[in-house]
Amino acid sequence: MSENPLDNEPILVAEGVSRRFGGLVAVNTVDFTIPERAIVSLIGPNGAGKTTFFNVLLGVIDPTAGSVVFRGRRMIARPERVGFESLLWVLPAVLLGLLSGLLAEAGIVSGRLVALLGFLTLMLLVGSLLLAIIRPVWYSTALERIGIFRSARPNDMVTAGVGRTFQNIRLFQNMTAIENVLVGMHTQLHGNLLEAFLQTPRVKAEEKAAERRADDLLTLVGLHGKGNEGARNLPYGDQRRLEIARALAANPKLLLLDEPAAGMNPKETLDLVALISKLRDDLGLTILLIEHDMKVVMGISDRVTVLDHGEKIAEGTPEQVRKDPRVIEAYLGAPAA
């Protein structure tokens, strides 16, 4: 632990990530790596493209170029030959449909068999559509092998081990705090439909354990005893913490925090900084912070990256970044030399 976390193996590597909206280039060929167990920050003035970049990392929006590799697996990239995928699942059904049509025309099959073939065609069509919608891992892998690629979706990223919070808190307002955490635990629970129907001992035990763990998580973020409060009734700072607890519930390896200190008073901010350090030190998490405010991140970051107008303008230790003239210019808006 004493060694510099920046020397660790990278857990996430983003290469040449770009995202444009129409004529606007929000993120422009950004290279970005996060070493394991590091706390890195991404800062930049308003409109620098931080949140867009963040959303690309999380699979919320597709990049227009570049890719993101998480724990050795390419998760996010510009979609490739997606049109073929549609073709792939339409084609078998169309072929079968044509075939049955021809067979029926030729009088080779008739009556009930035609109906059966028609039904099969329909099932095939919808089955493959279903596959494309649910997109299990084996399906994506198989597609990737033939050169068709789609980015992981937000929930796939969670399963892979990336947790997140939102800039403007998005809790499940009408649920209690503990229910929020339990929802976050979704990927960690395995009770299936049948078990839920039968209330098997296994699923009961799992639910009990989940509630205990949710309690522990609430305690960890400092919300001990507030589990049964409605999320909407919690004070602002607590809501931020609850969101972190919810993200932690999925056992992430990498935690992405989007302006976690926004709207907090100095005292709350201090507590938060302590919590973030604790998460890394005690739970061994890797953390990416996105901040508007430079002051928040300076204390805890191992490395700070600065974005401006969608481009990476500086990267280094907080000290280095603080002194970088381009950063100062970007923040203060001094005229270019």
Partner 1 sequence: MTALPATSEAGARVPMGASLRPLLRLVIPALLVVGAYAFMGPEQFVNAMTRGAIYALIALGYTMVYGIIELINFAHGDMFMMGAFVSLTFLGQILGLTGSITEIAKLAPLLVAAFFISMIVMGAVGVTIERLAYKPLRAAPRLAPLITAIGVSFILQNIVMLKYGPYQTNSPKIFPSVDIVIGTAKIPALSLFIIVVAVVMMIALQLFIGRTRLGRAMRSTAADRDAAQLMGVNINRTIAITFLIGAALAGAAGVVNGLQYGVSRFDDGFQAGLKAFTAAVLGGIGNTVGAALGGFIIGFIEVGATVMGFSRWGPAIVFGTLVIVLVFRPSGLLGQQLGERA
Partner 2 sequence: MSAAAASPTSFASRRKRLAEVSSRHRSWSIVVGIAIVGTVLPILAAIPPFTLATPTNAWMDGFTNAGVFVLLAIGLNLVVGVAGLLDLGYAAFFAIGAYTYSYVASPFGNSILGIKFVEVVSPDIAGLVFWPMLLVGALVAALFGILLGAPTLRLRGDYLAIVTLGFGEIVPIVFLNADAVTNGTNGVGGLARPALPIIGSFSALNPWPYYVSMLVVVAVVMMLAYRLVESRLGRAWEAIREDELAAAASGINTVTAKLLAFALGASTAGIAGVFNASKLVTVSPDQFTFIVSFTVLAMVVLGGMGNFWGVAVGAFVIYTINNVLLKVLNQFFDQVSFPILKDIDFIQLQFLLYGLALVAMMLWRPEGLFPNSRRQRELHTAMTEPGEDELVTAEATSEEGQR
Positions that interact with partner 2 (CB under 8 A):
58, 60, 112, 115, 122-123, 126, 129-130, 133-134, 153-155, 158-159, 164, 166, 170-176, 179, 182-184, 186-187, 189, 191, 193, 196-197, 199, 203, 207, 228-230, 232-233, 246-247, 249-250
- Residue holding tokens 């979704």? 186
Contact 56, 19 (CB under 8 A): yes
Using CB atoms within 10 A of its CB, is residue 323 exposed (0-12), middle (13-18) or buried (19+)? Answer: exposed
Residue 311 in the binding site for partner 1 (CB under 8 A)? yes
Long-range contacts of 310-313 (CB under 8 A, 24+ apart): 310/25, 310/26, 310/27, 310/28, 310/30, 310/48, 310/49, 310/52, 311/28, 311/29, 311/30, 312/30, 312/31, 312/32
Indicate the residue among 24 and 146 with the shorter CB distance to partner 1.
24
Q: Which 44-103 residues touch partner 1, going by CB under 8 A? A: 64-65, 78
Identify what 64 binds: partner 2, partner 1, none; CB under 5 to 8 Å per kind.
partner 1
Indicate the residue among 173 and 320 with the shorter CB distance to partner 2.
173
Identify what 171 binds: partner 1, partner 2, none; CB under 5 to 8 Å per kind.
partner 2
Shortest Å, Cβ 314 to partner 2: 29
Shortest Å, Cβ 19 to partner 2: 18
Indicate the residue among 214 and 273 with the shorter CB distance to partner 2.
214
CA–CA distance, 45 with 116 (Å, rounded to integer): 62
Stretch that binds partner 1, among 16-24, 51-59, 210-218, 293-301 (CB under 8 A): 16-24
Measured CA distances, 87 to 81, 82, 94, 132, 199 (Å): 10, 9, 10, 11, 43
Identify what 147 binds: partner 1, partner 2, none; CB under 5 to 8 Å per kind.
none
Helices then strands, each counted (H, E), the chain? 13, 10
Indicate the residue among 52 and 301 with the shorter CB distance to partner 1.
52
Shortest Å, Cβ 315 to partner 1: 19
Shortest Å, Cβ 130 to partner 2: 5
Shortest Å, Cβ 254 to partner 1: 27
Strand blocks (E) in 233-310: 254-258, 286-291, 303-308
Q: What backbone torsions phi and psi does residue 59 show, to the nearest 5 degrees?
A: 80, 10
Identify what 141 binds: partner 2, partner 1, none; CB under 5 to 8 Å per kind.
none
Q: Are strands 162-164 and 10-21 parallel, antiparallel or unpaired?
A: unpaired
Stretch that binds partner 1, among 203-211, 224-232, 303-311, 318-326 (CB under 8 A): 303-311
Question: 304 - beta bridge partners?
Answer: 41, 316
CA–CA distance, 312 with 324 (Å, rounded to integer): 13
Identify what 228 binds: partner 2, partner 1, none; CB under 5 to 8 Å per kind.
partner 2
Single out the residue of 8, 29, 219, 317 in contact with partner 1 (rule: CB under 8 A): 29
- Side-chain-side CA neighbours of 211 within 13 Å: the count stands at 9
Indicate the residue among 18 and 165 with the shorter CB distance to partner 2.
165
C-alpha dihedral over 303, 304, 310, 314, to 10 degrees?
Answer: -90
Question: 40 - beta bridge partners?
Answer: 288, 303
Query: Which residue type sits at 6?
Result: L
In the complex, the residues that contact partner 1 under the rule CB under 8 A are: 18, 20, 23-25, 28-29, 64-65, 78, 309-311
